[in-house]
Amino acid sequence: MTTQQLTEEIKRKKSFLCIGLDVDLDKIPSHLLQQEEDPIFSFNKAIIDATHDLAVAYKPNIAFYEAYGIKGWQALAKTIEYLNSNYPEIYTIADAKRGDIGNTASMYAKAFFEDMKFDSVTVAPYMGKDSVEPFLEFTDKHTILLALTSNAGAFDFQTKDVGGKPLYQVVLETSQQYKNNENLMYVVGATKAEYFEEIRKIVPNSFLLVPGVGAQGGNLQDVCKYGLNDSVGLLINSSRGIIFASNKEDFAECAREQALKMQKEMEDILKDK
């Protein structure tokens, strides 16, 4: 999916909601564990079917599938195949946070873009240019670079002064020199809303993937105040607050209720804008 197609879908749905499919078998409804051969996929399918008209993107965090070995990978593959086959208008994000050099990066890119057919993948920039550019070689795919994350440990490195600038700003500026940098997006945590104004000065036109709204305490209004651009330019992710709204048989309906609340708030924000 191209950036233009994603923007058009945002305008059509009046939503820039991304739902994180971070499936924990200890938290999903017990009847799925008892009745379903593949409870992870069954859970994901029910969430997707209940919310696909409210969300423009889904983001499985790969760790929640790797943790269950081959069965987890199979459930992930089935989930993405289901999305691509039934809801091709949906943007898919592999939240893998890969970051290695040369041929290794190329293999990671091939795995997520060619084999699993994700639209995008999150990448850690710590190892620099040659760990990012192999991902950027794929046409109409996006590399979502970690810039300023929502976790408490972000301040260990990301805001440290480097030549008079915080490191996350150096990452943003340096990445704009990479080959095919038009395929870049960036992760910026909602819990760091006060930084969005400065970030938009450096990457005014790029999409920002924003985790941290809801369970982690981020505020949607604050993020949008400084983060929206003329093409919207935001994907607001919510995971636990939506998918684990209930652990009973009504889990999909409750997930929809929470997604609808966020979509309505986004619709109002877009209307005001």
Evaluate if residue 6 carries a pLDDT over 70. yes
pLDDT category at 8 given cuts 50, 70, 90 is very high
pLDDT one-digit tens code per residue, 10-63: 999 999 999 999 999 999 999 999 999 999 999 999 999 999 999 999 999 999
Please tell me which residue in 71, 97, 110, 261 is annotated as part of the active site.
Answer: 97
In this prediction, residue 214 carries a pLDDT of 63
pLDDT at res. 216: 58
Confidence of residue 151 (pLDDT cuts 50, 70, 90): confident
User: Tell me: the pLDDT tens digits for 73-91?
Assistant: 999 999 999 999 999 999 9
> Tens of pLDDT along 185-237?
999 998 777 889 999 999 999 999 999 776 556 688 889 999 999 999 999 99
Instruction: Compute the average pLDDT of residues 112-132.
Output: 97
pLDDT higher than 90, residue 150: no
pLDDT of residue 152: 86
Which pLDDT score is estimated for 213?
Answer: 77
Q: Averaged over 87-115, what is the pLDDT?
A: 96
Check if 248 is active-site. no
Question: In whole angstroms, what is the distance from residue 75 CA to residue 68 CA?
Answer: 10
Q: Answer yes or no: pTM beyond 0.85.
A: yes
pLDDT at 232: 95
Share the mean pLDDT of the chain.
Answer: 95
pLDDT given at position 219 = 81
Instruction: Assign 266 to helix, strand or coil.
Output: helix
The answer to whether the beta carbons of residues 131 and 97 sit under 8 Å apart is no
